[in-house]
Amino acid sequence: MKNLELLAIENIPLIEPGDDLVSILIQTIKEEKIKLRRGDILVIAQKVVSKSENRYAFLNDVTPSSEAIRIAKNSDKDPKLVQLILNESIKVIRQGRGVIVVENKLGFIHANAGIDKSNIESDAYNPKVLLLPKDPDNSALKIKEEIFRQTKLKVGIIINDSSGRAWRKGIVGIAIGSSGVEVLLNLRGQKDLYGNALEITEVGRVDEIASAASLLMGQANEGLPVIIVRGIPETSKVNNVKSILRDKSEDLFR
C-alpha cells in the first residue's frame, strides 16, 4: 500500500538573525518525540530561513529612485518598498494596483520580488520587511549537510514560499530552494494505462511536495514553519530548483 505522511513540527521557537537553525530544529524534533528517518524530506518555510540569515531590510534606510516613485504611483505602494523590489529584481514584468510582478534575481517570476512584511515584528517608526534568501538552493544544501553532520541521516530539504498563479485565484506553496530531492519527474517515454507513450509529461515533484506541506503550514498564525514529509521514494536523481526554471526561449507567457 502506498502512503504519504506529513508531520508538522510544533513548538519551534521564533527564529532570530544568526540563530543556529539546524540545531534548533533537531532539538525541537527530539522534544516533540519525533524520530527523524533517512529519506525524510524537511519542508522549511522561506521566512524561517530568511530570518536566520538576517535578510531584513529597513524602509527608513532606502532612498527611492525616480523610477521607484513612478512605479509606486501606478501600483499604490510605498516608493521605498518599490525601490527594494527593484533592487531584488532583474525586470518588471507587470504592474497594477497593489502588486508588482517581477523577474527577481533568483530567476523566479514573483509578486513584489517575494518581499513580505507578514509574520515579522516591526517598528511603526522604522518598518522592516523580509527578503528572500540570497541563494535558497545553497541554503537548502547547507541545512542538509549540517543535519547529516549532526545526525548522520541523509534527508532532503525544500525551502518553500507562497506564490500566486496565472489564470487562477489563490496562492499555493512552491519550492524556491532544494537539496537532496528529485525536483522534476520525467515520465516521457513511459506508457499510460492504454499503452500510449507519454511524449511531454514532466511532473514538478518538488513543487508538489512544497504545496502539500503548505496545507499544514498555513498562511496566518499557525506557527508551523517546518513539515516532515515521509514516504517519497529515495532516488539518485536529485537537483536544485534552479534546474527547473523555464528558459526565456521556452516561455510563452511573458
Please name the residues in contact with 151: beta carbons below 8 A apart, sequence gap of 6 or more: 26, 36
Angle between helices 136-151 and 21-31 (to 10 degrees): 50
Angle between helices 79-87 and 66-75 (to 10 degrees): 110
Query: Higher confidence at residue 156 or residue 192?
Result: 156
CATH number of 56-130: 3.90.1660.10
Per-domain boundaries in the chain: 5-53+134-245, 56-130
- Convert the pLDDT of each residue in 102-122 to its tens digit: 999 999 998 999 998 877 787
Q: Count of alpha carbons within 13 Å of 238, Cβ hemisphere only?
A: 21
How far is Cα 156 from Cα 234, in angstroms, rounded to an integer? Answer: 9
What average pLDDT does range 193-218 have in this prediction?
81
Provide the whole-model pTM: 0.92
- Convert the pLDDT of each residue in 134-165 to its tens digit: 999 999 999 999 999 999 999 999 999 999 88
- Is the pLDDT at 198 greater than 60? The verdict is no
> What is the band of 244 on the pLDDT scale with cuts at 50, 70, 90?
confident
Count the Cβ atoms, other than its own, within 10 Å of residue 192.
Answer: 10
Q: Grid coordinates standing for 3?
A: 502512503
CATH number of 5-53+134-245: 3.30.1330.100
